[in-house]
Structure 1
């Protein structure tokens, strides 16, 4: 029985190392993707604060920001703290009303 455990552990160790490396790479900061769009500019997006975030508002925010990526940040979401010049963050409350718009 002990020999079986030792064999299983020696077989699993390389796989665990590969998984750990893949996880570390996935958690690293992603570079900007110029092919997705330009720099994000949220300076003219204050009109959305206080309004519900629906599909039309989301599309308008994304287009006006010039961002290549966007994400909705809700109170119950978990998200990475990496900073990206090409990403728009739309912050909403529990009722899906926009509370803030910023880039990063």
Structure 2
């Protein structure tokens, strides 16, 4: 390969790399765990305490909370201690009965 052709290919590779870098920097994060849809409010969700956590109960809690994401906190699992105003925490016991609902 001659020097002129290598130079053209090198410039093309640099241009592609710069374009990819610029595109990556300009995109916003769309991961659901980074951007919830709103502010969580668990004040009206005390009705769920004592109820078994099934799919219907989970959906209703999520919709009524206004949260962007939610997690189930069971006695035997580990979870991060970071606080997020858009996350609903549904606390359950070993029998999968809701023991508490809060945001964070």
TM range (shorter): 0.5 to 0.7
Counterpart contact for 1:32–1:84, Cα < 8 Å: no
Q: Which has the larger radius of gyration?
A: 2
CA-based RMSD of the aligned residues comes to 1.3
Equivalents in 2 of 1:90, 1:42: separation in Å?
A: 10
Aligned length: 72
After TM superposition, the structure 1 = structure 2 runs for residues 17-32 of structure 1, keeping only pairs within 5 Å, are: none
Q: Who is 1:47 aligned against?
A: 47
Q: TM-score, normalised by structure 2?
A: 0.67
| Correspondence for 2:96 | 96
Aligned counterparts of 1:48 and 1:39: Cα–Cα separation in 2: 19
Please, which runs of 5 or more residues in structure 2 have no aligned partner? 1-32
CA distance in 2 between counterparts of 1:99 and 1:81 reads: 19
Question: Post-superposition, which runs of at least 4 consecutive aligned residues in structure 1 deviate over 4 A?
Answer: none
TM-score, normalisation: structure 1:
0.67
